Amino acid sequence: MITLAGLLDDAKCYEAVRQYRWADGVTCPHCGSKTVNKRGKHDNHPERQRYCCRDCKKEFDDLTGSIFSGRHQPLRVWVSCLYLMGLNLSNQQIAKELNLHKDDVQKMTSELRQAVFDNKPEVQLAGEVEFDEVYVTAGHKGHPEAVKKKGGRGVAASSKGFGDGVRSKRKNRRSSA
């Protein structure tokens, strides 16, 4: 069976991660230093570059501290999953494309979504907060009385009235039958 993950190789995926993650140069995830030495390849993953920080002396690799770190599935499966999510495929469709169980894909997509949310640039978050504020304020400004009524006793009173009406109707039907 041909799958998207099967057509990709890990080398290309690591290359893509390096291009994206180290766009401004390799940065130590422990202390933020940019004075870093390469330190060979990962023992179990020959495509994964290792580094050693010259400031804090700690070691890390291309995936350290990222959503892809310490995963059972190879990087190409995660990258493929991310790609298919971008195409708006359902978990079921992604599972089929990657030849994985739907429950596994469900876990992967929710973690990836969470990671994307966590890494949302500040500008986007600020924009969202501002939008909420404007929306709420506009509602109050336009119809302050309507907003007060909707949130207050008005709704409760009218739904109680409706309930009574239905009950009395039933009673009427029963008594006439």
Positions touching Zn ion (CB under 5 A) are 28, 30-31, 33, 53, 55-56
Q: How far is the CB of 28 from Zn ion (least distance, A)?
A: 3
Asked if 4 and 77 count as a contact pair (C-beta separation under 8 A), the reply is no
Q: How far is the CB of 53 from Zn ion (least distance, A)?
A: 3
CB of 57 or CB of 150, closer to Zn ion: 57
CB of 35 or CB of 159, closer to Zn ion: 35
Candidates 61, 62, 56, 63; CA nearest to 35 is 56
| 3-class SS letters over 78-108 | HHHHHHHHHCCCCHHHHHHHHCCCHHHHHHH
Report d(CA 85, CA 109) in Å as an integer: 8
Q: How far is the CB of 67 from Zn ion (least distance, A)?
A: 21
CB of 55 or CB of 164, closer to Zn ion: 55
Phi, psi of 133 (to 5 degrees): -60, -50
CB of 55 or CB of 103, closer to Zn ion: 55
Q: How far is the CB of 22 from Zn ion (least distance, A)?
A: 14
Alpha helices by DSSP H, 26-152: 75-86, 91-98, 102-118, 122-142, 144-151
Phi, psi of 63 (to 5 degrees): -105, -10
CB of 26 or CB of 77, closer to Zn ion: 26
Q: How far is the CB of 103 from Zn ion (least distance, A)?
A: 38
Could you say which DSSP state residue 71 is in? -
